Amino acid sequence: MAELQDDEDIGPSELDRTFIFEDEGHTLGSLITYVLESFPETDFCAYSIRHPSENKMYLRLKVKEGNTVEDVFKHGIQELNKMLNHVKKTFKKSISAYEENTSTA
């Protein structure tokens, strides 16, 4: 399988990796990229779907010196988990508040 040009030249390292996710697409890609690229430790983060018939999502993460890709990625997932759980909690609260309002009115 074709790898990114840079991967062939330099090869994956502690600071730069391309992850491959099968059966995933923009749903996961844009969400992870959004969180990862906003970290100060991240040098570069982007995802691509190379070909529509190839059901894979490539996510490249490059981090600044002194960090490892693995740690930054883990941190990103933790933040995402926190964020999604907060969305869930807030939504639940709003729904019950709305139902209470309409039942009393």
Q: Which residues contact 35 (CB under 8 A, 6 or more apart)?
A: 76, 79, 80, 83
4 binds another protein (CB under 8 A): no
- As measured in angstroms, the least distance from the Cβ of 41 to another protein is 10
Q: Residues 55, 44, 81, 74: what is their CA dihedral angle, to the nearest 10 degrees?
A: 100
Cα 90 to Cα 97: distance, rounded to the nearest angstrom: 10
Over the window 13 to 42, marking each residue x when it contacts another protein by CB under 8 A and - when it does not, the resulting string is ----x-xxxx-x-xxx-xxxxxx-xxxx--
Instruction: Give the binding site for another protein (CB under 8 A).
Output: 17, 19-22, 24, 26-28, 30-35, 37-40, 69-70, 73-74, 77, 79-88, 90-95, 97-99, 102
